[in-house]
Chains A and B, each alone.
Chain A
């Protein structure tokens, strides 16, 4: 078990070292009409919700697992409760993100490290929770595509770009401006949730998640 955890950590370390540096996108510098901040796209559920997505995790081109990702969220409280399940229903990970940070309720190797818990809950937050506060910039390009970005106190940025026709993209950048997560969302939207999501993570580990909405509630 220790050996397997070591291999997993080594793999993540390897992927981290060899993940490419993505140059800072210049989209926010384009000349375009400014938007009222209320016109920035709202891609996230606004009330309490629960969802089940089918997840295909791909690392180094290999399908690592087909899993169920179950999430219950309360945007007003900034709370998320997530589970990863095997098709047989076996719980690999269960954790919550809230006012007290991340609380892990259940985890089995190799999903039992604090690094994994932090990364998973960060992904869930990027996918389902609107960035805090008002956007710093909101613009609309000539083709109707919108661009808005939020900057956090840590210098990390969240950008949302796209249109209803082209689909939407969420980008997370670190304080150096390098893209660390890239999410594409495609409809139809059910109760504010995109049916198809693709997440590409560049840092701290390189992997891709392909997600399909299966069930939504309440």
Chain B
């Protein structure tokens, strides 16, 4: 668990990215603004009920100082940790957290006899 009181050994700036969270019958969708990253430097960790986004910008120049984006949520919905998908386009991260099949609403047909 990420502890706010711990000191950092590296002087990277820590940012809290802005996040939108949406839900439908099938999934929870988390959208985060994390511009300028290499997709390999983005970590999406699902350790239920904790869900964490962590991304690092390796400071390479005067313009781009090292930055760490982190955001941690506690997920109350029933999520299938095996079926989490993430995509990164135009500096926006989208994480699809699929709900466990057993907790998705299922429509029951009423049989007429």
Partners in one complex: no
